[in-house]
Structure 1
């Protein structure tokens, strides 16, 4: 189901859904209030939900609704990312949405659900990201990243050779990282799964570095470390 108060945004997501063989749009809506009524009648597995809508925002709808399907938020406003992830969403898509980013979000939905991922098409994952530091774009290979910490409006990316302070929030950088390699373990920390050397009920170790596990992330970390 797609919920957005702008018709072009709905049409774009409908187009993307039509390009994947195992997704189907069962309903669309221009408001969260209308969507609430539709969800009582339709069987929906995945909800693409816009944040900025009249009368009731997507975030308010999330906070005040029970038994919702899995949710992928869509918005033109980057600053809502952290609050969205705290509401246990699958992913956060920043408009304008590319097909590659849409595909990655759908893949994350399959990875985080009991459904078998049967999407046959593939979009190669990047193995790096470019970040801007002091007006210079630095290439950072995903394999070199140890962990990332939040510094309010900035993040610090710790790699095996250096650390970079970037003007970006932690929710936004999480969108750019492959879910197969990275996991958020705390409101302020993302870690590389392959770099974890030990863990307890309260923290994760990467070599000699101890990173706290947030209360709301404990189950995710325990599942990850058991696998």
Structure 2
């Protein structure tokens, strides 16, 4: 069993994580707390393997909690704020989950923890990570075109339209980029107000751009820390 704690001052966020935890039989929730100080006593007397830790909390932030707690267990940050990704990476946390947390992204973080802890990944869990549908249909040129997720390189916004770039062609459809983003699985990442990339296709990146083959895509200023955290931690 992987013994877990949740430390978060948002009751709804705690309930979401509890729901995700309940779907994986080897995860045991030992307790949940509204602030890090309240969790200290449990950490002293209970063996804990993994903490789901919010960052901005009353009394003690999640970052200060890690810095000032000796022998802290492995941590997965759960936060609504993008701007802590790089700092969290420097703290050697397992992963950085941006709220609202989908089960597929949560599951990916758990598998990363298992890999770090050299724990086996059960076959039935791997099946959960694979979406029931590996494709979607988009309306283009008065017909619905089937597009497999793994074929998408990146998606580009063009005001009221988007252009979906595939390895051998591109497809244009009328839809807002934010709406299309909500349909994509966890491996897709918004890097700019005008671009979403398939992180499985990223061949290189810097602090200012992402490369997919010979194509260079800019990283927006407000997305920079989330992108750095995801590409360094989430993969």
TM-score (normalised: structure 2): 0.66
Structure 1 portions without partners, runs of 5+: 183-227
Is the alpha carbon distance of 1:68 and 1:119 closer, same or farther for their aligned partners in structure 2, counting shifts above 3 Å?
A: farther
Match of 2:230 among 166, 172, 175: 175
Matched, 1:123 2:125: no
Structure 2 portions without partners, runs of 5+: 132-148, 163-193
Report if aligned partners of 1:21, 1:119 keep a CA contact under 8 Å in 2.
no
Which residue is 1:210 aligned to? none
Which residue is 2:53 aligned to? 49
Which residue is 1:165 aligned to? 218
SS in 1 for 2:124: coil
Alignment of 1:203-214 (within 5 A): none
Matched, 1:91 2:95: yes
Alignment of 1:77-88 (within 5 A): 77-88=81-92
Alignment of 1:1-227 (within 5 A): 1-118=5-122, 120-121=124-125, 122-124=128-130, 127=150, 130=154, 137-138=194-195, 140-142=197-199, 144-151=201-208, 156-167=209-220, 168-172=223-227, 174-175=229-230, 182=235
What is the alpha-carbon root mean square deviation over aligned residues? 2.6
SS in 2 for 1:107: helix
Structure with higher RCO (Cα < 8 A, 6+ apart): 2
Aligned-partner Cα distance in 1 for 2:13–2:43 = 20
Report deviation, 1:166.
Answer: 2.3
Aligned-partner Cα distance in 1 for 2:34–2:233 = 31
Is the alpha carbon distance of 1:30 and 1:170 closer, same or farther for their aligned partners in structure 2, counting shifts above 3 Å?
A: closer
Aligned-partner Cα distance in 1 for 2:113–2:213 = 30
Is the alpha carbon distance of 1:23 and 1:160 closer, same or farther for their aligned partners in structure 2, counting shifts above 3 Å?
A: same
Is the alpha carbon distance of 1:88 and 1:130 closer, same or farther for their aligned partners in structure 2, counting shifts above 3 Å?
A: same
Any idea what the Cα deviations from partners look like across 1:96-136, whole Å, max 9, x if unmatched? 11111111111111122222223622212764574657766
- Which structure has the larger Rg over C-alpha atoms? 2
SS in 2 for 1:71: strand
